[in-house]
Amino acid sequence: MTAIGVTTYGGPEALHELDVPSEPLGASDVRIRVTAAAVSPTDTGVRSGQRDDKPAAAPPGAVPGMDAAGEVVELGADVDTGLAVGDRVMAVVVPSGPHGAYRSDLVVPAASVTRVPAGASDAEASTLPMNSLTARFAIDSLQLQPGQVLAVTGAAGAFGGYVVQLAKADGLVVVADAAEKDHDLVEQLGADVILPRGDGFVDAVLERYPDGVDGLADGAVLNERALPAVKDGGRMATVRGWDGGDQSRVTVLPVFVREHALDHDALDRLRQQVEDGVVTLRVADTVPAAEAGEAHRRLEAGGVRGRLVLTF
């Protein structure tokens, strides 16, 4: 059984094909023949060892990947989500050792799986689960009401783009950052106000909203640099674990998608929002799985809009 992973942590060149055993199917699991797996920044952390507490050497066959799409080939005895063998599905994956989305045969809990949105390809569907769930729960953590103002950093990225679209669907006013080359993209995603990205973003926010915005979703990982844009008593969602340090003026809420990987209803609602035209799926390019190292090089070089997707 083919997988793409590492046996020694390192750069993109460390990725190679692995022969890993098939995973056992539990009563509440789904076995998927994977055809597409999205490449995300979190995958580079698995590859490099940044997400390992003891990174001296990779565990035998560490396989990255948090997003997969493909075909159901087997269902556990207790699966009751309406899926059938042969259905095209997408799944959010929590990597652990050889268990990751970069493998042709994947077993995941049924709660982490839903159908591919109607009209979407497997490559397109594979870009949805992890980033959109992270965006959904980042917005939910901010507890904003319709009409309140949400700032979004990294708005042209996968997470940030989903935040913009989902926040607009929730009735929020969205203030987003964008480089000049991404202005049209972020405008198409639905941002109400677009301000220059980078070091001047916070000042630009405060020029328009002197007291600060109600909430901020920090896809650009500005962390403490973004705090001044949020009003006293406001909330900020982060995606790399930053908890706000010792300040208490703003409530900082780290969002970890692994805590929501079994929220089937949330994932299926996102599928419906794609079908309703609320959420846009963006594939930057497809790359054969055997060339995963090149996909990682392109991602780490920056400037990718949408997701690179490995095809099996």
pLDDT in tens, 112-124: 999 999 999 999 9
Q: Judge whether residue 55 has pLDDT over 70.
A: no
Least confident of 59-68, 97-106, 116-125, 259-268: 59-68
Show the tokens assigned to 125.
Answer: 């569907």
Q: What is the mean pLDDT of residues 7-24?
A: 94
How many CA atoms, within 13 angstroms, populate the side-chain half-sphere of residue 128? 32
Residue 60: the pLDDT is: 67
Q: What is the mean pLDDT of residues 234-256?
A: 96
Residue 186: the pLDDT is: 98
Residue 59: the pLDDT is: 65
Annotate 269-299 with DSSP letters as a single string: HHHHHHHTTSS---EEEEEEGGGHHHHHHHH
Domains with residue ranges and CATH for the chain: 2-127+281-311 (3.90.180.10), 131-258 (3.40.50.720)
Other C-beta atoms lying within 10 Å of the C-beta of residue 244: 17
Q: What is the mean pLDDT of residues 164-193?
A: 98
pTM of the model: 0.94
Other C-beta atoms lying within 10 Å of the C-beta of residue 210: 8
Q: What is the mean pLDDT of residues 45-51?
A: 88
CB 59 within 8 A of CB 95: no
Q: Judge whether residue 237 has pLDDT over 70.
A: yes
Q: What is the mean pLDDT of residues 151-160?
A: 97
Q: Judge whether residue 161 has pLDDT over 70.
A: yes
Q: Judge whether residue 26 has pLDDT over 60.
A: yes
Other C-beta atoms lying within 10 Å of the C-beta of residue 221: 15
Q: What is the mean pLDDT of residues 246-265?
A: 96
pLDDT > 70 in the chain, percent: 97
- For residue 61, which phi and psi values (nearest 5 degrees)? 75, 60
Higher pLDDT, 175 or 2: 175
Show the tokens assigned to 245.
Answer: 């340090």
Residue 54: the pLDDT is: 62
Residue 56: the pLDDT is: 58
pLDDT bucket at 199, cuts 50 / 70 / 90: confident
Secondary structure of 37-60 as H, E, C letters? EEECHHHHHHHHCCCCCCCCCCCC
The mean pLDDT of the chain is 95
Cα–Cα distance, 270 to 265 (Å, whole number): 9
Q: Judge whether residue 190 has pLDDT over 60.
A: yes
Other C-beta atoms lying within 10 Å of the C-beta of residue 143: 12
